[in-house]
Chains A and B, each alone.
Chain A
Amino acid sequence: MFKTSVEIMTEWDIVEARQIGRQEAKMLGFNTVDQARITTAISELARNIYLYAEVGTIEIERIETEGEKRIIITAVDKGPGIQDVRKVMQDGYSTSGGLGAGIPGVNRLMDSMVIQSNVGEGTTIKTEKWLR
């Protein structure tokens, strides 16, 4: 197991998180297309932190055990939190006039996603992808 975290404070940090994510995905053996998917997922989560929580962390874990390889991305922030988690999972829901494609998109690009959020306390989104 190998774990890296990137502090998200500026847009450049989003770029760094992407870069690390792509490297880790590549190291696990994901093909170019899946690397691009994982990177895009990281990007969406990091951008949400930057936009809605201002600061937070993106953790990237590489799991390599016998017969199982996967990447875990966890986005953690102590921002305003999400009021209705069910709604943000639906296509087209946005409070910022965005496309609202971010979170549902991440859900589709990855294999699993869990959102934990309390209003006023912050948000944690954990998402994984297995190597097939």
Chain B
Amino acid sequence: MKQLETQYKKMLMDYITYQSEKNLYIAQNFTRQLIQKNVAPEDVVGIHKNVMKEILPQTSNEEQHAYDFLIEVMVQYGMTHRAHQSLLQKQAEYDMEMKIAADIQKTLLKTIVPQLANVDIGMVSIPIRKMNGDYVHFLAEDKKYVCVAVTDVIGKGVPAALCMSMVKYGLETLEYTYKEPPYVLEIINRVIEKSVDDSMFVSMFYGYFDIQKSTFSYASAGHEPALHYSAKNNQFSTLEAKGLLLGVLPDTKYAFNEVTIEENDIIIIMTDGVTEFRFHDDFNARDLITTIIEKNKFLSAQQLCTLLYEQIEQMQDFKLSDDFTVVIIKK
């Protein structure tokens, strides 16, 4: 403190003598140094008071009292200033934890896209923030079946990520029920309803593609409808299914639906980040998607997913407003 006082004294005397802008600029740099050293505002006034007494010994008692008064006022400011600083530090710690949590989430919720002999599967899932609110889970056995769950947590950040881990855990413990989409949703619904906060909802599309029978059965819990492209008819149909979001009511029932899949048919499952267009109210996202798919139907499933992402991102001026996930299955 003594050293700072000496420096301060020199600067103040220079200023009193020259009153130049340079003196003030030096003072500004000095202040920066004070802040870095965590010198409290009341100490600065204390320094000023002492220096004034030294360089102007004839200062009146009244002036000294006035400084004491200012010190008293500054103590209160100093308290708030320090509280603020400790909050900033805490925030830096939270940011760090957040980053670690995001990394863990990435590892924990990594989706492995199955490589099958007779079915071509592709996926793109891009979060807009650190944590992805979408999650895709596959379960497959070559030449027999492939199941896919596409989920979207309504709610963002850490709570959403934790909720997603529950969903993953639920899906992994399905065992033999995986063939029955409505039943799967009913189980996951119960898991979420019981263990997750009331403000957390999850939408899920669950599909079971029986490769031997060539049928695709599905159920949906408040999820964006999927699309089915029939190669034979060169036509798209919407795979709609009624059902409440997961986590709302304990005993929700879900409807069973099934379509037959023929050679070169395509199934497109997505989250609402794909269909919600911010800048184009009058625009029909589904028309755009079906047009892109139809034009490029000979591309691989993965190429189609990537193409959809690129085109939609471009349409939105590269500013997507939600996590973007699309899964494509081609026979």
Q: How large is the interface on B (under 10, 10 to 19, 20 to 34, 35 or more residues)?
A: 10 to 19
- Given the complex of chains A and B, what is the CA–CA distance between A29 and B80 in angstroms? 26
Main secondary structure of the interface of A (DSSP, over half): helix
Contact mask A77-115 → B, CB, 8 Å, 1/0? 000000000000001100000010100110011000000
- Given the complex of chains A and B, what is the CA–CA distance between A40 and B79 in angstroms? 10
| A-B residue pair count with CB separations less than 8 angstroms | 42
Measured between beta carbons, the chain A residues less than 8 angstroms from B75 are 33, 36-37, 40, 109
- Given the complex of chains A and B, what is the CA–CA distance between A12 and B245 in angstroms? 60
Whether a CB of chain A sits under 8 angstroms from the CB of B43 is: yes
Kindly specify which of B81-89, B162-170, B275-283 makes contact with the partner chain.
B81-89
Measured between beta carbons, the chain B residues less than 8 angstroms from A33 are 42-43, 45-46, 71, 75
The count of residues in chain A whose C-beta lies closer than 8 Å to any C-beta of chain B is 15
Whether a CB of chain A sits under 8 angstroms from the CB of B49 is: yes
Whether a CB of chain A sits under 8 angstroms from the CB of B31 is: no
- CB of A104 within 8 A of CB of B49, answer no
Whether a CB of chain B sits under 8 angstroms from the CB of A32 is: yes
- Given the complex of chains A and B, what is the CA–CA distance between A38 and B134 in angstroms? 54
Contact A92 to B71, CB < 8 A, known contacts A33-B42, A40-B76, A101-B80: no
- Which chain B residues have a beta carbon within 8 Å of chain A's beta carbons? 42-43, 45-46, 49, 67-68, 71-72, 75-76, 79-80, 82-83, 86-87
Apart from A33-B75, A92-B87: 15 A-B pairs, beta carbons within 8 A: A32-B67, A36-B42, A36-B68, A36-B71, A36-B72, A36-B75, A40-B72, A91-B86, A91-B87, A101-B79, A104-B83, A104-B86, A105-B83, A108-B79, A109-B75
